[in-house]
Amino acid sequence: MEKIPIEKLATVLKLLGDKTRLTIVSLLNERECCVCEFVELLDMSQPSISQHVRKLKDANIIKESRKGQWIFYSLNKDNEFYPVIISVLQHVPHQEEKLIQLEKLGKTIICD
Amino acid sequence: MEKIPIEKLATVLKLLGDKTRLTIVSLLNERECCVCEFVELLDMSQPSISQHVRKLKDANIIKESRKGQWIFYSLNKDNEFYPVIISVLQHVPHQEEKLIQLEKLGKTIICD
DNA sequence: TAATTATATAAGTATATGCTTATATGTCAA
DNA sequence: TTGACATATAAGCATATACTTATATAATTA
């Protein structure tokens, strides 16, 4: 098991210690999502979501990939913190439901 | 595996997302400690430590037991968050070293 | 009982955080 | 090229956070 210095780990936990960001990370553990989906699911303003996403991206916890108009985010599995994040997410209820709900509303983004 | 609502978990992670508190919790995973030991080990003021400890206690993450002049703190294993905390602590290097150091300095508290 | 030690609490303060509104950037499609 | 859409960024602001110093409380010991 890869150990992480306390200071670094504290930084990551602080990032996860926010309802919005924890939900985002949890959703990304199901599948990649784009910003507008977070806005829809979390019922928050676009700039607010964008700022949270940026913090996660700056910490290398998530990565982005542009697909045309949209930017999709996904968990960065290569990051040294990925194992801790998975450890934490084990304790969170699955988020599929919300994503299925989104699909029913026809608000899922598909661009393949 | 006991699932924890995202909001609650975020609160716990926010508490752990501080270097001082994460270290305290990590030390308590080795053995119970009293406040003056934290002050010594973390090289912080007594009120500062006391305030961090209170936050952890208020969240029921740790519990106290007075032994004469001293108040010892330990992880509250009955708490619903205990499993998550253990999950997180798995990723942290062991803290025994620091406690052994403390003993060598004769600053360990023994009151049995 | 008075002095000492351990801890908690209160009040003040500087900085961090998370939102808001407004605007900029980037892509697509008519 | 213009308009529409998706996203990012900037600036401002209210609240939260983590210290500090000063003081209170509680137990111990001389």
**Res A109: pLDDT:** 67
Is the predicted pLDDT of residue A82 greater than 50, yes or no? yes
**B25 interaction partners in chain A (CB closer than 8 Å):** none
Is the predicted pLDDT of residue A112 greater than 50, yes or no? no
pLDDT tens by residue, B28-40? 999 999 999 999 9
What chain A residue is nearest to B95 in terms of C-alpha separation? A6
pLDDT tens by residue, A24-73? 999 999 999 999 999 999 999 999 999 999 999 999 999 999 999 999 99
Q: Which amino acid is at B110?
A: I
B45 touches strand D (CB under 7 A): yes
Using CB atoms, pick whichever of A3, A22, A88 lies closest to residue B87: A88
What domains appear along chain B, each with residue ranges and CATH number? 6-104 (1.10.10.10)
**A5 interaction partners in chain B (CB closer than 8 Å):** 93
pLDDT above 90 as % of chain A: 84
For A79-92, what is the mean pLDDT?
A: 98
The closest of B95, B13, B51 to A14, measured between CA atoms, is B13
Is the predicted pLDDT of residue A106 greater than 90, yes or no? no
Q: How far off is chain A from B16, nearest CA to CA, in Å?
A: 6
For A65-90, what is the mean pLDDT?
A: 97
Helix (H) or strand (E) holding B5: none
Q: Is A91 on the interface with B (CB under 8 A)?
A: yes
> Mean pLDDT, chain A, as a whole number?
94
Q: How far off is chain A from B110, nearest CA to CA, in Å?
A: 27
CB atoms B5 and A93 under 8 Å: yes
Show the DSSP H helices in chain A as ranges.
Answer: 6-16, 19-28, 35-42, 46-58, 82-89, 96-104
3-state class (DSSP) for residue A112: coil
**Res B112: pLDDT:** 45
Sheet strands (E) in B1-112:
33-34, 62-67, 70-75
A70: nearest nucleotide, CA–C1' criterion: D6
Residues of chain B falling short of pLDDT 50: 112
A101 touches strand D (CB under 7 A): no
